[in-house]
Structure 1
Amino acid sequence: MLAKDLSKMGNARVSVEVLDGINCVLKQDASEVEIHFYQTAAQNLKGVNSPALVKLDGNNLFIEHIPNRISLQELRAQPDLFVQLASLHRSEYFPSFPVKKHEWTDDATDEALRILNLPNSAESSIKRVQSLSSCIFECKTLISGDTNDGNWGTRDNGELVLFDWERFGHGSPAIDLAPLVTGLGTISDYKLIIGEYTRHNALLPDAELLRHLIIAKCWIIIEVVNILVSRNNPEQKKYLDWYKTTIPRWLASVKESL
């Protein structure tokens, strides 16, 4: 049996396995959201490429192995990246199962700020952004919730596929756009990605989507910091040091666009 652990930030243990002579991905203890996604939602999301369901054994999910990893730079160059995301965000499909509830809690902020130990001005700015954040969670748009480049790949025929759906739920399209910006990004970076995306889905005005993107980026900081520490990620010091250096300057640079 071939088994290579692929898990990074997720809860499930993920490996490549051989099933009946075919390579597939096994997610052990997959979440109910992701199991229901592959059983029910995937076939209802037209224009969105996700792996085929191979087998379900209790909470062990066997799905099509997407063989070719892709960097963020390569992902952004894919011509159908924003076409697929726009198709997801425009979908009228309504899940018949409970999806991931995205939220930004005071407890999460307090814990991340304790870990980061930022200057008081930066802490105040993050709390202000949180106070504005309800807009990105109240949207009824379907989202992946986790579009970072590590969750994309290509089939051997070149098709682009998104293969991690445990955070499938509702929210602003900005939640799916934010991970596609390198690092924390700049206002120019956000405007560039908004321009690419709105060619395919212009439901939100550019200024509103920009505001949502900044909020989503700030929320992702809180999420990632807490995940790094709670799961004892071996690279946590590197990422936390980078955040501590970068966050104050970034907050100052986006303040006027909120």
Structure 2
Amino acid sequence: MSKQDISQMGSARVSIEVLEGVDCVLKQGASDVEINFYQSAAPNLAGVNIPNLVKLDGRNLFIERIPNSISLNKLQSNPKVCEQLASLHRSQYVPSFPVKKHEWTNVATTEALSILDLPESAQSSIKLMQSLSSCIFECSGLISGDTNDGNWGTRANGELVLFDWERFGHGSPAIDLAPLVSGLGAVSEYELIIRQYSQYNSSLPEAELMKDLIIAKCWIIIEVVNILVSRNNPETTKYINWYRSNVPQWLASVANAL
């Protein structure tokens, strides 16, 4: 068995393996959510392309390797992205196992703001968004919870696939759409992805989805900062400096859309 380590931000150790002649991704120490997802949920999610489960050995999860990465620009112009996400969000499947609980706590906000050291006005705006955030977590629909461009790829036949399902849970579609907007995003960029997504799922009013998207994007800032710091990620300083430079202006630019 040969292997190549590809671990990045995740808590599990991830490597490329060849198992009985088949290229696989091995996640050592995979979470209960992801193990149960591949065993129970994946076969029931029609319309969503998910890597095949090759083997489960204790907490070692062997899944199909998706060989080709895809850039965020290409994802943004690919209609299959919103089509697949809409299929997931409209699914009637009810998980029989505990899924990831997504939430935005006071503790998380306090920790992230102490690191970011933003102006008082920006801190107040973030705290306001947190106070409004129950709307994105109380939705009963299924979500991936982690749709950043690093978690998409294509098979050799060009088929688009979404992988890394350890944050599978319930929430607003906005949680899955927000990472597909470059950077923090302008209101016009949110309007564009809402139009694209609404072609496949029009169950949420566009004004509501806009509000949810902005809140979700702000929540992602808090999540990313705290994850980077807790895992001693070597890129932490770069991200923190970028957020310090861009978050205050972004918050001002989206305030009227809330």
Provide the TM-score with structure 2 as the length reference.
0.99
Counterpart position of 1:145:
145
Alignment pair present for 1:49 and 2:23: no
1:103 Cα deviation after fit: 0.2
**Letter of the aligned partner of 1:31 in structure 2?**
S
CA drift at 1:78: 2.0
2:244 alignment partner in structure 1: 244
Residues 24-63 of structure 1 aligned to structure 2 (within 5 Å): 24-63=24-63
Structure 2 distance, partners of 1:7, 1:134, is 32
- RMSD, aligned α-carbons: 0.7
Q: Compute the displacement of 1:160 (Å).
A: 0.3
The more displaced of 69-78 and 160-169 is: 69-78
Cα distance in 1 for residues equivalent to 2:208 and 2:5? 40
Task: Give, in whole Å, the separation in 1 of the partners of 2:3 and 2:109.
Answer: 37
Give the distance between the partners of 2:73 and 2:164, measured in 1 at CA. Answer: 19
Q: How do residues 58-207 of structure 1 correspond to structure 2 at under 5 angstroms?
A: 58-207=58-207
**What CA distance in whole angstroms lies between the structure 2 residues aligned with 1:4 and 1:192?**
38
* Equivalent position of 1:224 in the other structure: 224
Contact 2:79 2:196 in 1 (8 A): no
Residue aligned with 2:4, SS:
coil
- Quick one: which amino acid aligns to residue 64 of structure 1? E
- Matched residue of 1:80: which SS? helix
Alpha-carbon separation, structure 1, partners of 2:155 and 2:211: 35
Report the alpha carbon displacement of residue 7 of structure 1 after superposing the two structures with TM: 2.3
**Which digits, 9 at most, give the CA deviation of each residue in 1:10-68, with x for residues without a partner?**
11111000100111000000000000000010010000000000000000000000000
Q: Give, in whole Å, the separation in 2 of the partners of 1:257 and 1:68.
A: 37
Secondary structure of 2:79's aligned partner: coil
Residues 64-85 of structure 1, C-alpha deviations (whole Å, 9 max, x = no match): 0000011101112223111100
- In 2, Cα distance between the equivalents of 1:202 and 1:6? 38
Q: 2 CA distance for matches of 1:196 and 1:59?
A: 38
Residue 42 of structure 1 aligns to a residue in which SS? helix
Structure 1 CA distance, aligned partners of 2:6 and 2:214?
A: 30
Q: State percent identity of aligned pairs.
A: 72
Partner residue in 1 for 2:3:
3
d(CA) in 1 for partners of 2:192, 2:79: 15
1:59 partner letter: R
Aligned residue identity for 1:244: R
Residues in 1 aligned to 2:152 and 2:3: alpha-carbon distance in whole angstroms: 20
Offset, 1:124: 0.6
**Shift in Å, 1:131:** 0.2
Unaligned runs of 5+ in 1: none
| Cα distance in 1 between the residues matched to 2:87 and 2:46 | 7
Q: Give the paired residue count.
A: 258
Distance 2:109 2:194 in 1: 27
Alpha-carbon distance, 1:167 to partner: 0.2
SS in 1 for 2:5: coil
Following superposition, which runs of at least 4 residues in structure 1 exceed 3 angstroms of deviation?
none
